[in-house]
Chain A
């Protein structure tokens, strides 16, 4: 009797020890993942709303504006102008003036020169009055617009990047409105990305299903041989496969010259650097991701069900649609979801085989980093993409379980 609680306690302690040991084994990898994966993703999320350039660069101005807190239709009083002059002097001295001007320019083109014109002259005047000085440097300082922009950027955290990522903008009056026609692109690109992903998923399912069916119904030895043919492109470098499609589909490429040699066409077809090329290349690359899950599910389906249905009088098609197909559903949904998630984030393939009007959202993330240096907008776009992917990933986990990913 006395040994009972002791035994329970000792068992629990042993169990805990075992779990602790397990956690200790996982810990190094987890720390590493935190450092090289989670923290970088966190950086992206942080940069999508955290933007301290103006609060840190123009501190006196920001607090002066806050104190004044006047309506957006008016220009601020002299103390604010003075604060701005002080901030500008400090920024010019520490050579930090330019990033501030660039940041303002992201909101409204032309603000950079308005800002810099005053900044270049600010060292020539020692003390106030500052309002005439600024209005002299550029008449825009006598208008509420540029002040509205500074006020929009006055807080360290804001949603301006997200607004921009969804084709909205915050006017200098503080209102939110759609951007001009000539600036609106992101919603189109999001829709395009989803559209391409859906098309590719559908194609992969259509092409993958018959092949998986065949593989599942062959003898294992033969199936393994054919599986090698499926896995070979899977393990070939992504760039190599994309290069292969560029070579095959270009104007003087294999497909066009074959079709011309056979006399089927007179002029070469435009098969690459357009949507067709993107769909074909992406389908080719993602096809094994549908074949493998569907195959592994189909393998487990006992043939007796279909035979039973046939024996009860069902025609082959009826048996297939009402008995076989529903049992394949886990594999189909796993493959479809996986391909959809992967296509959303594709960058390399559309960049190489697509035209300028076929680029997906990842391209714009890269473009905003590499070309416009708009880290905030790139982060906002990434955050939206990441959010969508993580949501779908959660669905995938619920449906299939991540531990069950098959690698052939």
Chain B
């Protein structure tokens, strides 16, 4: 059914229910989106208050965000940590997804369950465990420790998206390439990779977003030099709701929108590459 074209034979009660559904869903969608959108204008409020009406707009909090060395180092730490974690997660995750794609692999279900479990396990438990374990190894208060755990958290996304993409990949293409004389590796590089890269990139973006947004692990494993943007926001939120946090929040929202659009474009690209009409 489309939204407003109800068939002629619907009764009044049915029309009423139909519109009730629409209004209800509108309210739920509003509930979903409003909080995120409300933050945006407040980030531009000249005064350090968090309610409407806004009298004057200014960029002073963004100025604070991008000139204060504390915030700048937090942003740069976030970028560095997320990039390293994503590289690690994507590389290992893609390889594993290719391996898991094998049609008849004993223990595939168990392996898959273990690989996806970081998404489900409470982050606090993992952070605490990493704190214990990495302390013994001597890397508790370091960038390396954080990158390792972030990569572990982002990796399930890579595995899931690449597995899904590979699921739609036609193995016969590889077989055709092999039959024409290509080596296993050459076929992978020249045939499979170009067709699945949107899926790989999507997974990488998920992993990046996961690491960029992560705060609990950084709380436990990070020292002063590894403070990331969410970690800095957390300190501010706990103690004083400074509007600079809203400016940081705005930046993160823009990042999320960008992420969504890129993912959608990648999805369409993936569909086009595989030649399927969805």
Chain A residues with CB below 8 A from B253, complex form = 236-237, 240
Whether a CB of chain B sits under 8 angstroms from the CB of A402 is yes
Q: Is the CB of A232 within 8 A of B124?
A: no
Do A32 and B104 touch across chains, with their CB atoms under 8 A apart? no
Q: Map CB proximity to A onto B146-159 as digits: 1 under 8 Å, 0 otherwise.
A: 00110110010101
In the bound complex, do residue B35 and residue A407 qualify as a contact, i.e. CB atoms below 8 Å apart? no
Q: Which of A35, A207, A342 contacts B148 (CB under 8 A)?
A: A35
In the complex, A231→B263 CA distance in Å? Answer: 11
Interface pick from A37-45, A112-120, A145-153: A37-45
- Known A231-B260, A345-B121: A19·B38 in contact at CB below 8 Å: no
Q: Is A232's CB under 8 angstroms from B129's CB?
A: no
Which residues A342-396 have CB closer than 8 A to chain B?
342, 344-348, 351-352, 362, 365-366, 369, 375, 378-379, 382, 385-386, 389-390, 393, 396
Chain A: minimal CB distance from B153 (Å): 9
Task: Tell me the bound Cα distance from A284 to B134 in angstroms.
Answer: 34
Q: Which of A210, A218, A245 contacts B28 (CB 8 A)?
A: A210
Alpha-carbon distance between A230 and B237 when the two chains are bound, in angstroms: 26
Within 8 A of A (CB), among B122-145: 122-126, 128-134, 136
Answer yes or no: B114 CB below 8 A from chain A CBs: yes
Taking the closest CB of chain B, its distance from the CB of A402, in whole angstroms, is 5
Q: Give the shortest distance, in Å, between B208 (CB) and chain A (any CB).
A: 11
Distance from A16 Cβ to chain B, minimum over Cβ atoms (Å): 11
Q: Which one, B24, B35, B122, contacts A389 given CB within 8 A?
A: B122
Contact of B33 with A22 in the complex, beta carbons under 8 Å: no
- Per-residue contact bits, chain A 23-66, to B (CB 8 Å; 1 contact, 0 not): 11110111011011111111110010000000000000000000
CB within 8 Å: A-B pair count:
278
Binding site secondary structure of chain B: helix
Q: How many chain A residues have a CB neighbour from B under 8 Å? A: 95
Residues in B242-273 with C-beta less than 8 Å from chain A: 245-246, 249, 252-253, 256-257, 259-260, 264
Q: Is the CB of B105 within 8 A of A19?
A: yes
Partner of B31, one of A250, A284, A389: A284
> In the bound complex, do residue A211 and residue B230 qualify as a contact, i.e. CB atoms below 8 Å apart?
no
CA distance A274 to B3 in the complex (A): 39
Q: Are A239 and B215 in contact (CB under 8 A)?
A: yes
16 contacts between A and B (CB under 8 A): A29-B93, A30-B96, A41-B121, A44-B128, A47-B132, A226-B29, A228-B260, A229-B33, A232-B257, A237-B252, A239-B230, A240-B249, A247-B241, A351-B238, A397-B113, A405-B119
Enumerate the 5 nearest inter-chain pairs by beta-carbon distance, A residue then B residue, closest first.
A345-B122, A25-B99, A40-B129, A244-B35, A29-B96
